[in-house]
Amino acid sequence: MFSILCGGKELQADLVSRYRVNTEEADMVDFYESTEIDRSLVLSHLSDEFRAVVDRIQSELDGLPLNAVAPEAMDSLDLAEQTVDNTAIALREGFGNRLAWHDALTDYECAWMEAKSALGTATKGSSE
């Protein structure tokens, strides 16, 4: 379990516990071999990890008017989503690493929390 500060809010996550760190070099992450079984295992883990992030985001945004997201925030969200997609594809094909995946998920969640903060400010301003 670890925490990150995102949009002024501390988020708890356990994604790091799923990474196997190579004991010879602490900064290297083990890669799964490119067999079909291992690829399906990687895809399953990626899907589970992404679903956990999406569930947290949906919980945070429940009841907020998403159609009011500013264009600048949408650009940031689109970029974060594209990074998640590209990183998942790289991992699926045996390239990239799990730390990059974790960073992409963190950036994606932070982009949504920043958009949420802007929504909260916009809805407060319009109700006054």
Percentage of the chain modeled with pLDDT above 70: 60
Supply the pTM of this predicted model. Answer: 0.65
Q: What is the pLDDT of residue 121?
A: 57
The per-residue pLDDT of the chain, averaged, comes to 73
Residues of the domain holding 52: 2-127
Q: Return the C-alpha torsion angle 57, 59, 60, 63, nearest 10.
A: 120
Amino acid at 66: L
Let me know the angle formed at the C-alpha of 45 by 109 and 54, rounded to the nearest 5 degrees. 25
61-70 as b/e, with b when 16 or more CB fall inside 10 Å?
beeeeeeebe
The pLDDT assigned to 67 comes to: 82
Other CB atoms closer than 10 Å to residue 119's CB: what's the count? 18
Q: Using one digit for the tens of pLDDT, what is the confidence trace for 40-64?
A: 556 788 889 999 999 999 999 888 8
Query: For residue 12, what are the β-bridge partners?
Result: 3
Q: What is the DSSP string of 4-38?
A: EEETTEEEEE-GGGGPPBPSSSTT-B----S-HHH
* Predicted confidence (pLDDT) at residue 69 exceeds the cutoff of 60: yes
The span from the CA of 47 to the CA of 18, in Å, is: 13
Count of structural domains, the chain? 1
Mean pLDDT of 78-104: 91
**Helix ranges, 4-127 (H):** 36-61, 71-92, 98-127
